[in-house]
């Protein structure tokens, strides 16, 4: 099996804003190996979130190609791509995106229901992941009964419980205080080390950058720096 999980070649993305074309990405090339803990950094408007969206298949490039897990995303139809993302990609957003009328357990369980896992398997995974993220005993609470840091932990649990190949996190610490951010990042770093799950962050947060083992810097839609750390 190839060690490369993501291959993006010559990726350009052009949006139209009030009839004016805007280049969000300009010929970006990026390869990400299995097991990486990587941060995409750069000023607002540099193309970080667009690159995450293209990597995940949430959006398609105007030019260029993206492979994920050996699959060329542009060759997949709508249902096939949706199922592929469900099974292989976990998303963490800065706004949490929890379903407010569902409990913690039900939010975490949701993707597994879509995957058709048995009730026994779902229950086992929920129990395990809530323990891992430090929310054992919080399963019956609603999102409104949790702090911001706890809600983001639930979002991480929901992203991880289906055991995706890669987790894409868009500014996951933006709405958290320092203590909650440190705790969340330490947890994700530990999970990466213990499970080998691949994490890619879009971030302005220096705390994420400090923990990343690879830093990819974007500017004006292009990758102008790529540094790896041991």
Which H or E run contains 189? helix 178-195
- Name the pLDDT band for 90 (thresholds 50, 70, 90): very high
* CATH of range 35-58+77-228; options 3.30.70.260, 3.40.50.300, 3.40.50.620, 3.40.109.10: 3.40.50.300
Across residues 181-190, what is the average pLDDT? 87
Per-residue DSSP letters for 139-183?
TT--GGGS-HHHHHHHHHHHHHHT--SEEEEESTTTTS-HHHHHH
For the stretch 77-86, pLDDT in tens is 889 999 999 8
Tell me: pLDDT of 116 over 60: yes
Tell me: pLDDT of 210 over 80: yes
| Average pLDDT taken over every residue of the chain | 92
- The pLDDT, as a whole number, for residue 162 is 86
What is the spatial distance between Cα 223 and Cα 46, in angstroms, rounded to a whole number?
Answer: 9
Across residues 97-106, what is the average pLDDT? 95
Across residues 50-62, what is the average pLDDT? 94
Q: For 16-20, 78-82, 202-206, which range has the lowest pLDDT when averaged over its residues?
A: 16-20
Tell me: pLDDT of 180 over 60: yes
Name the token pair of 225: 């720096």
- Name the pLDDT band for 187 (thresholds 50, 70, 90): confident
Name the token pair of 131: 């323990």
| 18, 39, 205 from 211: Cα distances, Å | 39, 9, 10
- Name the pLDDT band for 37 (thresholds 50, 70, 90): very high
Contact 217, 209 (CB under 8 A): no
Domain ranges of the chain: 35-58+77-228
Across residues 28-45, what is the average pLDDT? 95
For the stretch 131-171, pLDDT in tens is 888 899 999 999 999 998 899 889 988 988 888 999 999 98
- Name the pLDDT band for 1 (thresholds 50, 70, 90): low
* CB atoms inside a 10 Å sphere around CB 24: 24
Name the token pair of 218: 């974007």
Nearest to residue 88, comparing CAs of 149, 166, 142? 166
- The pLDDT, as a whole number, for residue 175 is 79
Tell me: pLDDT of 56 over 80: yes
Across residues 126-133, what is the average pLDDT? 88
């Amino acid at each position: 099996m190839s060690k490369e999980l993501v291959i993006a070649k010559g990726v350009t993305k052009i949006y139209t804003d009030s009839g004016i074309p805007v280049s969000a990405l300009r010929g970006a090339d990026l390869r990400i190996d299995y097991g990486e803990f990587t941060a995409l950094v750069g000023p607002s408007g540099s193309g970080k979130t667009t690159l995450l969206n293209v990597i995940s298949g949430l959006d398609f490039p105007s030019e260029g190609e993206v492979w994920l897990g050996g699959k060329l995303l542009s060759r997949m139809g709508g249902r096939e791509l949706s199922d592929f993302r469900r099974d292989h990609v976990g998303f963490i957003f800065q706004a949490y995106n929890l379903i407010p009328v569902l409990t913690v357990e039900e939010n975490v369980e949701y993707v597994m229901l879509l995957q058709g896992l048995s009730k026994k398997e779902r229950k086992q995974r929920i129990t395990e992941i809530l323990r891992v993220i430090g929310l054992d005993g919080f399963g019956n609470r609603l999102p409104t009964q949790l702090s911001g840091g706890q809600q983001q932990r639930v979002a991480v649990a929901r992203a991880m419980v289906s055991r995706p190949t890669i987790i894409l996190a868009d500014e996951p610490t933006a709405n958290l205080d320092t203590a909650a951010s440190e705790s969340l990042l330490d947890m994700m770093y530990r999970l990466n080390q213990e499970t080998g799950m691949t994490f890619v962050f879009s971030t302005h947060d220096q705390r994420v950058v400090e923990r990343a083992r690879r830093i990819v810097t974007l500017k004006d839609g292009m990758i102008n720096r790529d540094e790896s750390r041991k």
